[in-house]
């Protein structure tokens, strides 16, 4: 990498969520299905003492890391059906933040004091957080808009858990969880969408409030406040109690389908008539800035990468691929950037390294 | 030129003021000496009727366009010692504006109704406006900071005028001019400076007010208001009455020398320590924007070209030369842009063509 010592950016793999494949992957970056489970014979994670936490994590990790844990039915390679557990207390803080940036663990799990871990398969399409709010928060990831597939894998993952662990279940409430909003199916389904068209056309609020009306949550993936940095939004169901899993899936499916269609219309309108030059100008200025800037904040990187992503997907920009952009998106995050450079960086240095990294990633390769 | 039909930008020559040569030409773009003269036997231009104006212009143009008008003593090639007269009333409005953009005539002369002309030599180092506020407003241009040379040429030009025309002169007041502020030596000396360092370091007001204290005028070359677009400033003497020509020259010389030194310090400071990355970032983002934008207003073009010019002159940017930037500066002006494209353009089209032109000019040539 020019201008910065450290590892080759190519040595960092892109997790499943950034593979850029699957149906509608020009808009739907990734589908995720998460469910919460607890193990009988242990108190809820939030109530247990240190020793009990250690015992729980050791017990669960042993089960999760058995060879071919996911089983032959699980539609993946044998290597990918086996999980590896990372005990978070034994990692450096930077590596915990790296896992957060890879969407494998929550910020909350990273910040806890008690024993906790995460079990992951090699391509990062399965991740199970151990001892977060619940004993188990299991996730399956599929790039693109693949709700049914991600859900089918979550079911198989659930069966694998049931084979190995005594899960707490009530005939009346369904699976028991620490927080009542997760009780019942314990299911959270979410799709990460890239919606620059709706943002640029100033229709994003209308679009997200439509989804909210049917009790779906719409959150920015990055940043806080009303505008999501990088124009990434996550649509997910809010409640699980009192709805069947089929209903939940259908709600999210319909809402996401509608948002994808809406986003497509918005993009088409941005490239029609008088708007076209303004859109192209915005896209190409973003590209020019990323190609040339000497310092870039993460907010700027997200904003400009979003514009360039739109440009690539709408065929305005040639010679740059979505994998390059996904790599830039992943590696320009603070923890990845520092792991890449193999040193602790001040915020000022980070912005310079980020600019150097992105310049390098966007440069045409011979 | 890609994306726009019309003439090859290379067919437009750069006038003397944009040659980019001469001492201190990294800061001092051009030196200009102007003087006002009137011809005996005609009323002042502002007082004459239409017939008299025609008569005056015909008479003067005949004299100015004689072969080797400037004479063998004039330090230039024979072709360049002969002038060509352009009768402004016979030109299209666009061509009059073209002459304004080339600094050969004033906006005022372009806008007049009466007979008027300009006599110019091929490299545009000499231009004589006929029938502006005075019968003759003669100018010599030298790229870079070459006051003595430009002044010596103005003297020779004055002698050439005296050989051919009966100039109005009073023992008491010196050369008579229509406006009393020009009476006496009738001399205006000006240097066009590129001062991005002082602007970026927020020292430009202090710098210009220092010059104003010794009765020099400091004006932005482009745009109105306090900030000069493109960071180009013109320093000139204000009054001519009661000062010898030597005093005037010395005043301007000293002030410009001081401004050049100040600008050099400001540029050095912008590339020292913590400021360096910010400066480089600003320079390279400007370059990236010019390389990629699909639409550019003339204000944006001036602003970004100024930053890139600074970058080239301070050795930050390689592969781009000052001649390319000067061509971009000249040709991105509205009249030049339309002559280049050989069609009338709406402001929206102009901004698109300007962006296409600059992209093309900055693209590395094979």
Instruction: Judge whether residue B130 has pLDDT over 50.
Output: yes
**Closest B-chain CA to A281:** B294
For the A16-267 domain, the top CATH level (class) is alpha beta
Instruction: Judge whether residue A296 has pLDDT over 80.
Output: yes
Q: What DSSP assignment string belongs to A151-189? A: HHHHHHHHHHHHHHS-B-EETTTEE--SSGGG-BS-EEE
Over residues A343-355, the pLDDT tens digits come to 888 999 999 999 9
- pLDDT, mean of residues B8-27: 85
In this prediction the pTM is 0.91
- Two structure tokens written together for B154: 């103005």
- Are A295 and A351 in contact by the 8 Å Cβ rule? The answer is yes
Over residues B259-270, the pLDDT tens digits come to 999 999 999 999
Over residues A255-277, the pLDDT tens digits come to 999 999 999 999 999 999 999 99
A56: how many CB neighbours lie within 10 A of its CB?
Answer: 25
Percentage of the residues of chain A whose pLDDT score is greater than 90: 76
Best residue in B274, B284, B364 for a mutation probing chain A (most A CBs within 10 Å): B284
Over residues A78-97, the pLDDT tens digits come to 999 999 999 999 999 999 99
B155: how many CB neighbours lie within 10 A of its CB?
Answer: 13
Q: Any chain B CB within 8 A of the CB of A295? A: yes
Q: Any chain A CB within 8 A of the CB of B149? A: no
- pLDDT, mean of residues B12-23: 87
Taking the domains of chain A in order of start, what are their residue ranges? 16-267, 274-362
What is the model's pLDDT at position A241? 66
Question: If you count residue pairs, one on A and one on B, with CB atoms under 8 Å apart, how many are there?
Answer: 53
Best residue in A284, A312, A347 for a mutation probing chain B (most B CBs within 10 Å): A284
The mean pLDDT value of chain B amounts to 91
What b/e readout covers B328-358, taking b as 16+ CB neighbours within 10 angstroms?
Answer: bbbbbbbbbbbbbbeeebeeebbbbbbbbbb
pLDDT band at B1, cuts 50/70/90? Answer: very low
CB contact under 8 A, B281 and A291: no
pLDDT band at B190, cuts 50/70/90? Answer: very high
Closest Cα to residue B83, out of B102, B96, B70? B70
Q: Any chain A CB within 8 A of the CB of B278? A: yes
pLDDT band at B3, cuts 50/70/90? Answer: very low
Q: Any chain A CB within 8 A of the CB of B363? A: no
Q: Any chain A CB within 8 A of the CB of B292? A: yes
Q: Any chain B CB within 8 A of the CB of A284? A: yes
- pLDDT, mean of residues A21-41: 94
The complex scores an ipTM of 0.89
Torsion sign over Cα B319, B324, B325, B331: negative
Comparing A48 with A5, the larger pLDDT belongs to A48
Biggest CA–CA distance in chain A, Å, is 66
């Amino acid at each position: 990498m020019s201008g910065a010592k450290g590892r080759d950016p190519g040595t960092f793999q892109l997790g499943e969520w950034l593979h850029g494949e699957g149906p509608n992957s020009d808009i739907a970056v990734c589908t995720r299905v998460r469910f919460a489970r607890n193990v009988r014979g242990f108190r809820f994670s939030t109530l247990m003492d240190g020793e009990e936490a250690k015992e729980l994590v050791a017990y669960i990790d042993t089960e999760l890391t058995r060879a071919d844990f996911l089983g032959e039915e699980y539609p993946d390679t044998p290597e990918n059906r086996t999980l590896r557990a990372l005990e978070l207390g034994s990692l450096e803080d930077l590596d915990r933040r790296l896992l957060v940036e890879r969407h494998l663990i929550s910020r909350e799990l990273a910040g806890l004091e008690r024993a906790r871990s995460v079990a992951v398969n090699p391509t990062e399409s399965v991740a199970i957080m151990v001892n977060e709010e619940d004993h188990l928060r299991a996730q399956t990831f599929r790039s693109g808009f693949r709700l049914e597939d991600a859900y089918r894998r979550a079911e198989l993952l659930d069966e694998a858990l049931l084979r190995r662990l005594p899960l707490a279940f009530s005939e009346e409430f369904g699976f028991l969880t620490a927080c009542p909003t997760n009780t019942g199916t314990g299911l959270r389904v979410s799709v990460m969408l890239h919606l620059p068209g709706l943002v640029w056309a100033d229709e994003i609020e209308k679009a997200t409030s439509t989804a909210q009306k049917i009790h779906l949550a719409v959150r920015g993936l990055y940043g806080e406040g009303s505008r999501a940095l990088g124009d990434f939004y996550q649509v997910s169901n809010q409640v699980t109690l009192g709805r069947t899993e089929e209903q939940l899936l259908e709600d999210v499916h319909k809402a996401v389908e509608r948002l994808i269609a809406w986003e497509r219309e918005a993009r088409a309108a941005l490239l029609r008539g008088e708007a076209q030059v303004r859109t192209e100008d915005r896209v190409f200025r973003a590209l020019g800035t990323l190609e040339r800037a000497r310092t870039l904040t993460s907010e700027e990187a997200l904003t400009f990468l979003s514009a360039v992503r739109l440009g690539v997907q709408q065929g305005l920009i040639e010679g740059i691929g979505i994998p390059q952009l996904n790599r830039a998106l992943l590696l320009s995050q603070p923890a990845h950037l520092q792991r890449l450079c193999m040193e602790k960086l001040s915020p000022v240095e980070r912005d310079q390294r980020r600019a150097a990294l992105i310049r390098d990633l966007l440069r045409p390769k011979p």
